[in-house]
A and B are shown apart, each in its own frame.
Chain A
Amino acid sequence: MAEVNTGDGGGGHGKHDKKRAKKSSTRIDMTPMVDLAFLLLTFFVLTSTFSKPKAMEINYPADPKDENTKPPKINNALTFILSENNAIYYYAGEFYPPNNPKGEPPTQLIKTDYSKDGLRKILLERNDPVRKEIFKLEEKLKKKEIADSTYKRLVIAEKSKKDAVTVLIKADDKATYKNVIDLVDELNISMIGKYAVVDMIPTEYELLQAAEGAAPTNP
């Protein structure tokens, strides 16, 4: 490939070479430069990453200091239970174990899925009042009736309203991390501001196992 022109080899043609050098054009041979440029190019293409990772911020509830602390009463709660093979169950409102002293019918788990017609439909329907308010605010923002900071503040206030839906996420041993992320992502899409990832209570676990045996599918 590359030939080194040593003084020895070129000795016989010294005069001839000199003559040719005078005649040659002012152009320089750019091949090595191109080689280098493409080498660098290849190097940078291969070693670089484009997409900076994105992050999703999430707050976890603090564990109660006192063992006997009763869980707070939640208005308009929706509890999701995640299990293996991407199974997802939910129930609305408070949890009633079978034969409870209040005489309420025991809670039934309803099976759903992560698709647009499953989970998202439920969440959007549930959170429709809040979403309507937020879209109204957005309209106002577009018309420049309210400032950007005011808009942000009002959206947060709207999401954390007392009667807004609160979602509890409970994952069992076999649920994957993706399941949790998918669910939280759906909540963000549906503009649900109040959610928490919490532990399952034993009665719920029993119910889940019963539901996994014979799951009533409900769209």
Chain B
Amino acid sequence: MPKVKLPSSSPSLDMTPMVDLAFLLVTFFMLTASVRVDEPVVVDTPSSNSDKLLPDNVMMITIDPDGKPFFNISNPQVRIKTLEKMGAQYNVQFTEEEKKKFAGMTTFGVSMQNLKQYIMLDDVARSKYKSSGIPLDSLNNQLGHWIQFGQIEAAKQAKAEKDKAESLGRDFKYEKLRFAIKADAETPYVSVKAVIDVFKKLEIYRFNLITNLEQDEVPEPTN
């Protein structure tokens, strides 16, 4: 009877393919994914067939299911400038540190009176903070001012960048500031309308309504 020869391999296995795979996946995720930012309000947007991507240079108003508006500008420099202007308007002084912190923040929904305190909260406390929304009634139209100053500062920023690019002899691609509205599916339409009316007063009529993608076939015409 022939002897069964047991291979004398070591108990450790070759992990090279596994490492290859793991790093491949890591690279893939790093390159394809954008970082999810913690927003103070969770909004479940309705779905539509639109497959247009949201533009990069955007001013976004988020409206939560209770109708409270939140504000966000994507460009950090514009954020700081807008905050300075808002501070001057409402007699709130912001320190350099506060401005820096504000530039790194995302959407916020607090009035100017509470903004200073809100900025200085640490991340954990801020995520638990109950935002009351930015006031937008006609007597205390802070949202209107945010939009107005944000628009002015965005235009100034674009101009400054254009001048800089021209002085360096580079091409400058101007991207217009877009206005996006991100509302929850269950938000009453009147709340959305209230925000749109604020925009309308500033003669802004074109909006990007943020939706989820849902594919639906386009039906053929009847013959």
A residues sitting closer than 8 Å to B (CB atoms) are: 29-31, 33-34, 37-38, 40-41, 44-45, 47-63, 82, 120, 124-125, 128, 131-132, 135, 171, 173-182, 184-185, 188-189, 191
Contact = CB atoms under 8 A, between A and B. Distances in A.
Given A30-B16, A55-B54, A179-B189, A44 B26 contact: yes
A184 B18 CA distance: 49
Nearest to B187: A177
A41 B22 contact: yes
A5 B216 CA distance: 64
Interface string B132-148: 00000000000000000
B27 to A, nearest CB: 9
Nearest to A55: B208
A120 B222 CA distance: 13
Contacts of B32: 48, 50
B184 A184 contact: no
Contacts of A132: 221
Contacts of A173: 188, 190
Contacts of B29: 41, 44-45, 48
Interface size class of B (residues with CB under 8 A): 35 or more
A124 B33 contact: no
Contacts of B26: 37, 40-41, 44
A172 to B, nearest CB: 8
B192 interface: yes
Nearest to A50: B33
Nearest to B10: A25
Given A57-B206, A173-B190, A34 B22 contact: yes
Contacts of A175: 188-189
Contact of B210 (A31, A55, A188): A55
A159 B206 CA distance: 19
Interface of B: 12, 15-16, 18-19, 22-23, 25-26, 29-30, 32-36, 45-55, 63, 180, 182-193, 196, 199-200, 203, 205-213, 216, 218-222
Given A47-B35, A52-B34, A131-B221, A34 B200 contact: no
A47 B93 CA distance: 35
A42 to B, nearest CB: 10
B145 to A, nearest CB: 20
B22 A56 contact: no
A53 B62 CA distance: 13
Given A37-B19, A37-B26, A41-B25, A176 B189 contact: yes
16 contacts: A34-B22, A40-B26, A48-B29, A52-B54, A53-B45, A54-B212, A55-B53, A55-B210, A56-B50, A56-B209, A175-B188, A176-B186, A176-B188, A178-B186, A185-B211, A189-B216
Contacts of A41: 22, 25-26, 29
B203 A62 contact: yes
A43 B125 CA distance: 23
A22 B154 CA distance: 66
A55 B49 contact: no
Contact of A52 (B18, B53, B189, B218): B53
Contact of A37 (B23, B53, B211, B220): B23
B184 A177 contact: yes
A177 B189 contact: yes
A178 B30 CA distance: 34
A185 B50 contact: yes
A132 B33 CA distance: 41
A44 B187 contact: no
Contacts of A38: 22
B148 to A, nearest CB: 17
Given A54-B213, A181-B209, 13 more contacts: A30-B15, A33-B19, A34-B22, A41-B29, A48-B35, A52-B53, A53-B45, A55-B54, A57-B209, A124-B219, A125-B222, A176-B188, A177-B186
